[in-house]
Structure formats: structure tokens, C-alpha cells
Structure 1
């Protein structure tokens, strides 16, 4: 069964839910991400399929836009007030079954308040949320994926199996992302880029020693004496070398 369940409301951020599903499916695999319109096969009984999936999922992402509280309602009654509303039922099931529930606030949607929610969903307002801005979607979804990797070792393994580590650093034995050491040429030099003009610095690692940036005049980094060119008209004098 999928480890991630994408919960959303039709007529609010349905297109965003599709975007989230596609990106997380790319990272973790189609089999690990459930979105009703994609994952329920034609002819299947969707109430049973929805409940079975949400009861077995580990993480429920609640995609929330500006119209999430009102969309789908009738008159002055919001859709969430209906006990048979599927968006509500999925969240209730996830909370009752101990899944991690993450509100995903889209395009500046405000944080949920418990007083705006039915009593049965009150805990949703206390769940730590993440934001998704369409102008920064790639970075926001990348951070979300990293959050999920940190939450579940199973997702860390799935990400590694689908090549996520190749783009975002290798995974260690515990499934935690770590920075790749060295470059593709095998260099492990622990040097920091030196951008200052006219100075000296050190390189450590496989390549070690002293470098000189933009030298002006005589340069000496060894032992002994360095003598400047002695010109009678300028009164050149010997310069003592490094001590």
C-alpha cells in the first residue's frame, strides 16, 4: 500500500494536488503515492478503496488553498460540516490511525484555526504545516520530499531506489541524506573558495600547500633569502626571506 496519501478538495487546489503527486511519485515511485483520481482503477468501489488506502498510509498530505474551507459547501454550510464529506473522512481516518498529517498551505493560504474546523478535525490545526508557492514550487517540493525522507526510513529507501540520492546527495546507512564528498574527478580537497585579491591562503586535503592570489612584486614561500633586482638608480636592497 502507498506510504503517502494526497488529500485535496475538488474546486480548491486540485491541480496543485496533481503537481504534488507527480513530483513525489517521481522521487518515491508511483506505488508509494496515492491520489484518488489516479490510484483508484476504473470499476473499483471508491469508498472501500479510499478507506483502505488512508487506513494503511503513513503520511497524509492535506493540500489546502484559499477556498478549502468553503469549496463544496451548500449555502452557508461548509463542506467540512458534512460528516460524509470525503476530504473530512480521509483526514479523520488518518488522525485516528496514527498517520503523520501534514497540512500543505498553497499560495499564501492562511494557517488553520481550530475554531474554523469541526470538532472531529480540531487536531488538524495543531499539525505542523508546510507551504507551497507556485513561483518556487521545485524548491518547496524538494524540501517537502526531504522532510518525508527524514520521517520515514521506508521513503528514504524508496527515494534512493528511484535515483533521488543521485541528484540530492547520497544516503547513509540510516537513510539520511548526506552531502557528496569530493567531485566527479575524485578530489577531496577541503578548500574554501578564495576570492580576495592580493593575498595568500592554504589548501588542505588531497591537494595541500600554499596558494598566492594575484601576486604583486617578488613572491617567496620557501626558506632562504630572496634578493630583489639591484638597480643602481633605485638602490635595490636585499630582502630577508621567510623565517
Structure 2
């Protein structure tokens, strides 16, 4: 049996393929027990359907699109059709999508699909004959799933010894972009083509921080995003750190093979109010204060879907591994700036007695402000249990009722604001100490060239 903690999401139409999908679900459960999501089999009576579907899509690695003869019907043209929403969300988030053809169905043509599903046509489909060749088809599917879900030991280059990672955003040489060196030519609009959601863009070295940046603007509220490149780091408490808790151990090597955009600050009250039309925060007085008193369900059920719709790309929460990697910014000390902390560096221990504006303390070397203190920041999933094994792109835990929090707050002691410190609370909890920062993880800039 697989030991991976990854979700396989089965998308299907109840009206045409429920029985075949149920057979597939039970067969996959034999190999990936409790890691396969099928709404009719997994959800409880009375559970919020939309929130559960969104939560499952946020954590899954593979979506199986079960396609019967009547799948590409008029219903698929409705932007609110659940099957369409499930598959388009997976495609936008970079989740692997495998079409599974049943009952002699053929892959639909481009004219039968809305534009946001055209990427589905680039994927080789599995023909699953339930009457004659079911087991053979499942065997092929399992082979594909293992290739996607299996987490290998980080690969190393024989020449450099560096962990294998995917290409990141380049420091773009004007010659590679067709720029004439004077701001003209196609290169002047390079970033507009690669990241059309951005109001402005700056390459690595364009400011004092060691990361490219891109600004988004919603109704006059501007949020700067920082590109967090792929890389490897030691996650958890250093054995020599006397301040560490048991759930931060053992320290282990983690490699992130995909970069992502991360907000340079916790979400502000100004941005939250612009996006949602409300402000639940306890501490008010400035649009630059972090929004707080928000639960994980508030963030993922209200703010992020609305922001995604406005930007046209998927706004999400980071995993614990992504958050800690970004917080450390290449360092390995308890705080990004060293072994000890002062009120000038971190808002903690009730010294101020409330939150402070999101840029009122220094940023780390990657341009991320107040990863320590001010407000706890919600992560994508729950706490996973650590082991000493090296991991690649580890997902968060899959407990449905709780979610991880990182970074500490204005109220807690210094020990609880360290890079490795982690908390877990019910996803419905809200507190004047809870906030968040979001990421844009579906973007892959630099595909058209780079150094």
C-alpha cells in the first residue's frame, strides 16, 4: 500500500457515470486507501459541498476526469458547472489531470469544449473498458499515478551536486528578450506577456532584495508579490536549538522543485476590504494593518476565491514547507536575522500590545516582511508528522478539521516566533492574532526565455 499523503480527486457526472466511477473508486482505494476523493463516498450528510470540494482541490495532486458519451453536453458550457469548475481549477493550479474514457466515449473536440478546458486535449486519455479490460486499464492508470505521486529522493547533478529543481524566473538578459538595451523592442513588454495579472514587474537586483517582484492592484490596493525560487533547505528545529518543540523534530532535508509567487506582507485590511467589502479586524486605524480575526474558512471560502476571480489566476495559501523555506530565505538560524530577537526586529510578547503595519519591521533577504511575529499566518493544510527522511515537495497533513499556523504573533513569546515553530488550530477558529499571506502558485514565468 502507498504511504503517500496525496489526494486523488475523481471528477464525474452522477447522471451518466456514477456506477463506473464507484467501481474505479473502490479499486483505487485498494492501493491508495483514504487518499481518494469521490464526493458521494467521502462527504458527510449536511457537509458544505463547495467548501469541501475547494479544500480537496487545494490539497490534491491528481484529478481523474471521468468522461462518458454525454460528458461534453450543454451543461459543460455553463461556467458554474461543477465538473467544469473542478477541472479548470486543477488545470490552473498545475494539478495533473488524467482523462478517463468510459462506455466507449471519445475525447471531445476543441469546438465542444469551453476555452478554459482546451488544455485537456493535450493529455493522453485512458480508455477504461469496464466490461472486458477493466483490470488492464486500472493497471495502466496505477502506473501513471505512481509516477506522479511517488516522491523520490532528491536527485543531484553529478557535476554540481545541487538538488534537481525546475527552471525559475530568470534574471532576464535584454538580449534574450529581444530588447535593444534602451527599453524598446519586444523585451520591454516581456513581463506583461508572462505575468499579465501584474501591474508592474521588477527583475532580481532591481531593488535591495534578492528576488524578482510583481505588483498586483485591486481597486487601488497594491500588493507586492515576490518570486520564491525552487531550492533545498533543512526544515524543522536545529538539534542545537534549545527553544525547539517536539513537533519541530527531527530536522530533515526538503527540496521544493517549483517556484511560486508569495505576498511580501501579510494581507492588509485595505486589500481584504477592497476584495470582500468588509473588515472583520479587531485592531483598526490603518489600511496597512494586517487583517486579523479571520478563520481559515474565511480566507479560503471568501477572500481567495474572490481574488482568484479578479486576477484570473489561482490565489492560494502556502504549505508549511513553502512558508518555512520563504521565511528562512536561505539561512538556518532560528530567525532569518540570527539567533536572538529584539522588539525592533519583531512585534512579539505583547510589547506593543497590538498589531503594527505590515512593513513596520525589517524584511528578510528575499523581501518578505514580518514572517516573525505580528500575526499568525494560516497555511494550506494541517500539521504533518516529521520524520528524518528527505522529502520533495511535501504536502501538509490531511486532517479535515484543523489547519497549520506559522510565524507567531504580537502576543506570544520570542520562542513561538521562530522559523521552525508551528501551531495547529481548528480551521473555523478566528482570533485577533490570526492573519495570512497568500501565494500565486499556478504561474510559471520565464517560459519564453531566460538566463
TM-score by length of 1: 0.58
Contact 1:102-1:127 within 8 A present in 2 as well: yes
Q: In 2 relative to 1, CA 2–151 (structure 1 residues): closer, same or farther, beyond 3 Å?
A: closer
Which position in structure 1 is the counterpart of 2:56?
Answer: 53
Contact 2:72-2:108 within 8 A present in 1 as well: no
User: Which segment is superposed worse, 98-107 or 109-118?
Assistant: 109-118
Q: How does 1:1-243 map to 2 (within 5 A)?
A: 2-29=6-33, 31-70=34-73, 78-134=74-130, 135-154=132-151
Secondary structure at the aligned position of 1:101 is classed as strand
In structure 2, runs of 5+ residues without a counterpart are 153-451
Could you tell me how far 1:2 is from its partner in structure 2? 4.7
Q: How many residues align?
A: 147
**Alpha-carbon distance in 2 for matches of 1:20, 1:97:** 24
TM-score by length of 2: 0.32
**Alpha-carbon distance in 2 for matches of 1:51, 1:145:** 25
Q: In 2 relative to 1, CA 13–154 (structure 1 residues): closer, same or farther, beyond 3 Å?
A: farther
**Alpha-carbon distance in 2 for matches of 1:130, 1:140:** 7
Contact 1:12-1:64 within 8 A present in 2 as well: no
Contact 2:6-2:149 within 8 A present in 1 as well: no
In structure 1, runs of 5+ residues without a counterpart are 71-77, 156-243
Contact 1:114-1:124 within 8 A present in 2 as well: no
**Alpha-carbon distance in 2 for matches of 1:50, 1:38:** 13
Could you tell me how far 1:112 is from its partner in structure 2? 2.4
Which structure's CA Rg is the greater one? 1
Q: In 2 relative to 1, CA 12–122 (structure 1 residues): closer, same or farther, beyond 3 Å?
A: same
Q: In 2 relative to 1, CA 145–138 (structure 1 residues): closer, same or farther, beyond 3 Å?
A: same
Structure ranking higher on relative contact order (CA contacts 8 Å, 6+ apart): 2
**Alpha-carbon distance in 1 for matches of 2:58, 2:145:** 18
1:97-132 CA-to-partner distances (Å, cap 9, x unmatched) read: 110000001132112222210111111111221110
Contact 1:101-1:124 within 8 A present in 2 as well: yes
Contact 1:114-1:123 within 8 A present in 2 as well: no
Secondary structure at the aligned position of 1:11 is classed as helix
1:144-165 CA-to-partner distances (Å, cap 9, x unmatched) read: 112211222159xxxxxxxxxx
- Name the one with the larger helix percent: 1
